Amino acid sequence: MQIMFDANCTPGIYQFQGKDFEFPDLTSVLCPNCKEDHLKRHGFYSRYLICKDFEGEIFIRRYCCHKCWRTVSLLPSFCHPKRSYGLLVIFKALFEFYTGTNIVSLALKNFLSSTGVKVSRQLLLHYRRRIEKNISDLVAAISAIRSVRPPPASETAGIKESVRQFLLDILYPQDDSLKIFEQSRITYLTPYAI
């Protein structure tokens, strides 16, 4: 299980501090799985991260419940669960495609020139399929966070227009992603039930 938290720093600073980073302390928290024992520190694992101006390994803090033996990892908000590319890279690649030309090669070229990060056609297609699959849940989650009624599903708008409007409505991708995850346990690309 992963819990996202606001690292409040860049990936480079996070990597530089390594295991000395001031992670949130979950030792007073009951296990989210069994709710019978407090979590204990359980070391770290490393994962690869690709972001604008950063590419490398970072440490992820782990906790463990000694009752059910499930682990909980603290994932910084600039990461995306189960993805090597950072959250802002994924968001900007999708944003470039859906709000730009809707032409894959041109969107990728514009994205590369603005971020310096190379994303393949296949990866963009994968991201597009995932966000289109999750768009109704994402719209409902962001509407709940902002305490507004979700817009009515338009028969003519279609999924691509819904994704485009959702991406345009996100003002702070990292903050909104963290709020969506805390509210509904989903991310832009992955239904992420705990």
pLDDT at res. 194: 39
The per-residue pLDDT for 63 is 94
Supply 87's token pair. 């959250």
pLDDT along the chain (194 residues), means of 10: 88 95 92 89 94 93 92 90 88 90 87 89 92 87 75 64 89 82 74 46
Q: pTM for this one? A: 0.81
pLDDT value of residue 149:
65
In 3D space, the residue among 121, 127, 136, 141 whose CA is nearest the CA of residue 182 turns out to be 141
3-state secondary structure of 164: helix
Could you tell me the residue ranges of all domains in the chain? 2-76, 87-184
**29-60: burial string, b at 16+ Cβ within 10 Å, e else:** eebebeeeeebeebebeeeebbbeebeeebbb
pLDDT number for residue 191: 56
pLDDT at position 123: 92
Dihedral (Cα; 179, 38, 9, 164), 10-degree rounding: -20
